[in-house]
Chain A
Amino acid sequence: EAAVTQSPRSKVAVTGGKVTLSCHQTNNHDYMYWYRQDTGHGLRLIHYSYVADSTEKGDIPDGYKASRPSQENFSLILELASLSQTAVYFCASSERQGSRSYEQYFGPGTRLTVL
């Protein structure tokens, strides 16, 4: 069964500090995504990647960097965490063949609180 794991599951960070969120998938999927969800809202795409060593900007990339060192791993990096980045972060993976896309499989989420 498809599996996407995230670590940590929750984190408290200080303003201005560096935060790294990690995502690991065992689905052998090419595509991986990072989303954030704010309380009472839907998910918004931050960064995504379709191949190792390459990342693409999503809809709200400002203040975030991403790293895809291997097909299985995708990290989200907040170099200077800010209060506005308090949210729940979801990682997802999906398969793709040419222009045909497939469903996204989501991890359990990471709750980040910036103080």
Chain B
Amino acid sequence: GMPVEQNPPALSLYEGADSGLRCNFSTTMKSVQWFQQNHRGRLITLFYLAQGTKENGRLKSTFNSKERYSTLHIKDAQLEDSGTYFCAAEGSNTDKVVFGTGTRLQVSP
């Protein structure tokens, strides 16, 4: 299967709602990076984690290498959170980074 499985593929939220995205890995990963791709196609780095949990404002991400997953939690969703979210993970024995297939998030008033 795919080395990085990202879910859900699409997500619709109302403003103020909380939700989470998840990436599961088929092998042990060294690190994970989360991006938001905006409507102009620009990739905006949200988090880079080699382990543990990081928070930034309304966003929180966790990476568990041993359990082979990472999550991105969005709290109090805002209209500007709309976009496509990607996780990207680097394998333990490789220089390469593999991207998930993305979650398309739409936040509505």
Q: Say which residue of B30, B48, B96, B102 sits within 8 Å of A42 (CB atoms).
A: B102
Say yes or no: is B31 at the interface (Cβ < 8 Å to chain A): yes
- In the complex, the answer to whether A31 meets B101 with C-beta atoms within 8 Å is no
Which of A11-19, A20-28, A44-52, A69-77 participates in binding chain B?
A44-52
Q: Which residues, 41 to 70 on A, are CB-close (under 8 Å) to B?
A: 41-45, 48, 50, 56, 58-59
Chain A, residues 92-104, CB within 8 Å of chain B (1/0): the string is 0000100111111
Which of B12-20, B38-46, B56-64, B66-74 participates in binding chain A?
B38-46
Q: Please measure, in the bound complex, the distance between the C-alpha atom of A111 and the C-alpha atom of B95, giving whole angstroms.
A: 26
- In the complex, the answer to whether B42 meets A101 with C-beta atoms within 8 Å is no
- In the complex, the answer to whether B102 meets A33 with C-beta atoms within 8 Å is no
Q: Say which residue of B6, B41, B45 sits within 8 Å of A88 (CB atoms).
A: B41
Q: Please measure, in the bound complex, the distance between the C-alpha atom of A44 and the C-alpha atom of B101, giving whole angstroms.
A: 10
Given A42-B102, A43-B86, A101-B30, A58–B41 Cβ distance below 8 Å? no
30 pairs of residues in contact across A and B, judged by CB atoms under 8 Å: A31-B95, A42-B86, A42-B88, A42-B100, A42-B101, A42-B102, A43-B86, A43-B88, A43-B99, A45-B97, A48-B95, A48-B96, A50-B95, A56-B95, A88-B41, A100-B50, A101-B30, A101-B31, A101-B90, A101-B95, A102-B48, A103-B31, A104-B33, A104-B45, A104-B88, A105-B45, A106-B35, A108-B41, A109-B41, A111-B41
Q: Say which residue of B6, B30, B97 sits within 8 Å of A104 (CB atoms).
A: B97
Say yes or no: is A34 at the interface (Cβ < 8 Å to chain B): no
Chain B residues with CB under 8 Å of A50's CB are 95
